[in-house]
Amino acid sequence: MSNGGIPGRLLRGGGRDDGPRGLTVTRDNLYVRETVIPIGHSFVVQGSNGEFPFLTSSERLEVVSRVRQAMSKDKLLLAGSGCESTQATVEMTLSMAQVGADAAMVVTPCYYRGRMNSAALIHHYTKVADLSPIPVVLYSVPANTGLDLPVDAVVTLSQHPNIVGIKDSGGDVTRIGLIVHKTRRQDFQVLAGSAGFLLPSYAMGAVGGICALANVLGAQVCQLERLCRTGQWEDAQKLQHRLIEPNTAVTRRFGIPGLKKTMDWFGYYGGPCRAPLQELSPAEEEALRTDFTSNGWL
């Protein structure tokens, strides 16, 4: 992974109850990303918004394989390979590498979160990284897992030669800054996990972002990175302000159903969610649209 990091990109794909069509439109969504609005340095597949907990193992691998076949060869493919057990995560990571992933993003195991202390998580990630043929990116997303990967564990794991970074979706900018500071002597990248706190994350030293909102406002998310990199902080602040409500809408407020509906509005295919997730009600859809129109995006 280069020092340039991963500007906010997350590719939606798979996880649909419409069977093979889900894989076909994954390719179509990629075509729009690659040719109509060619932005970003990479694709992230099978992250939280890829509905990976609701997919079978074979479906997860098929999505990554299809994306690898369709995407440009000069872009990095980061695939989510996390499972609940260490053994399953190792096996999934090996399989992801075989179908074309350049790196693996591994979410914290969380079902037995009461016992997922620093020692357990360090052991888990070390074992995965030891056996992985591709670089590993840590993934902390407490809103979904109820578990924040402890800073001391991150610092220890940053010293592993095959662990190259972390996607931190917790939203605690002081934590992001501390991780940047504590890992500064390692070849380790810190990535913001949401467009809602991109600007302060860049100010704290994050090198990029992996953001759900980039599925629909990818050019704008990447523009925010460019503004920060070139020191245009006033313009960056204005853009960040306009991204906060839409970002909240497609994450905490309406989640994957909201993101998929918004993708439909912006010319992609969002499609139905996989059960038990349900589509938005008419009132929720109207509230979602308001969050985008009031900020000038629709």
User: Quick one: angle between helices 20-31 and 57-70, nearest 10?
Assistant: 30
| Cα atoms in the 13 Å half-sphere on the side-chain side of 239 | 21
Cβ 89 vs Cβ 126: under 8 Å: no
Catalytic residues: 139, 167
Rounded CA-CA distance 7/198 in Å is 10
Q: Is 210 annotated as a binding residue?
A: yes
Cα 67 off chain centre by: 15
Burial class (CB in 10 A: 0-12, 13-18, 19+), 138: buried
45, β-bridge pairs: 79
Q: Strands of 76-80's sheet, edge to edge?
A: 42-45, 76-80, 103-107, 136-140, 163-168, 189-192, 208-209
Residue 92's contacts (CB-CB under 8 Å, 6 or more residues apart) are: 57, 60, 81, 82, 83
Q: Please report, in range form, the residues annotated as the binding site for pyruvate.
A: 210
Q: Please report, in range form, the residues annotated as the binding site.
A: 210
